Amino acid sequence: MEDIRQKIEKAKRDEDCFAELVREYEKHILYAAYRTVGHYVSKSDDEWSVAMMAFYEAVRSYDAEKGSFVKFSEMVIRRRVIDQLQHHGKYRPEVTADIEEEFSNEPAPEPSGTDNPVRDEIEAFSGLLEEYGLIFRDLAKSSPKSRKTKHSCALAVQALLEHPELARQMRSRRTLPMKQIEEISGVPRKILDRHRKYIIAAAEILLGDYPHLQEYVRYIRR
């Protein structure tokens, strides 16, 4: 089977090869656009045209040092679609708003200048979540609603932060070490299981280099 890097190199030089690559990654292109705008995108929508041009840009500029082509191309597509929406005054940072609601219900920090550091962190964190088989929209269902449950989830996250061996186990296995967290935190298994995705996401944010996203879960460290 031909390596993806070989296909990309051919697509850089040959229009037919690029067209074949587009057919192979059509669902990926549409999904990347959908994740950005938050609603269904078809090939008749303007977002498809923007996403296609972004995919072409990703193919032209990709090299193996940039990591996974899927993640790299999605990043380029997301940025170009957002730029297009901002240009037409249609962009609302829904993902940022989702994080605000899901993690802390506290005001989100406003980005300054022309850069959007929050968006950049979200893009980087989205790639990490994918390694767990998660996306941001998964977190809404597992987010704690009551103050009591929120406190229990915070205890579970603190167990991961205070016991590096548990965090390493979570990261290596891409799942929560339920038994150990239950023993250390006293949080019932039922809550850990129901809010597993939220606990993983909050722990990774606090363990990682995400200073802006950490504002949304700062209550955990209180």
The four Cα atoms 72, 78, 79, 84 give a dihedral, to 10 degrees, of 150
> How far is residue 163 from each of residues 60, 73, 187, 222, measured CA to CA in Å?
44, 36, 16, 17
The Cβ-side half-sphere exposure at 83, using a 13 Å CA radius, reads 12
**C-beta atoms surrounding 217 within 10 Å:** 23
Tens-place pLDDT, residues 27-52: 899 988 888 887 788 888 888 888 99
- Which region, left, alpha or beta, applies to residue 105 given φ > 0 means left and ψ of -120 to 50 means alpha? left
pLDDT at 118: 65
CA–CA distance, 219 with 4 (Å, rounded to integer): 43
> How far is residue 167 from each of residues 12, 38, 157, 160, 189, measured CA to CA in Å?
41, 31, 10, 5, 18
- Which region, left, alpha or beta, applies to residue 158 given φ > 0 means left and ψ of -120 to 50 means alpha? alpha
Residue 107 pLDDT greater than 60, yes or no = no
Q: Where are the domains of the chain?
A: 4-92, 99-221
Is 54 or 112 the better-scoring residue by pLDDT? 54
Q: Which fold has domain 4-92?
A: Rna Polymerase Sigma Factor; Chain: A (1.10.1740)
Residue 154 pLDDT greater than 60, yes or no = yes
**C-beta atoms surrounding 186 within 10 Å:** 11
Residue 103 pLDDT greater than 60, yes or no = no
Tens-place pLDDT, residues 186-198: 999 999 999 999 9
Contact, 124 vs 166, CB < 8 A? Answer: no
Is 118 or 219 the better-scoring residue by pLDDT? 219
Residues 166-183 have a mean pLDDT of 95
Tens-place pLDDT, residues 129-151: 888 888 766 676 778 888 899 99
Q: Express as a percent the part of the chain with pLDDT over 70.
A: 82
Residues 91-102 have a mean pLDDT of 45
pLDDT at 152: 95
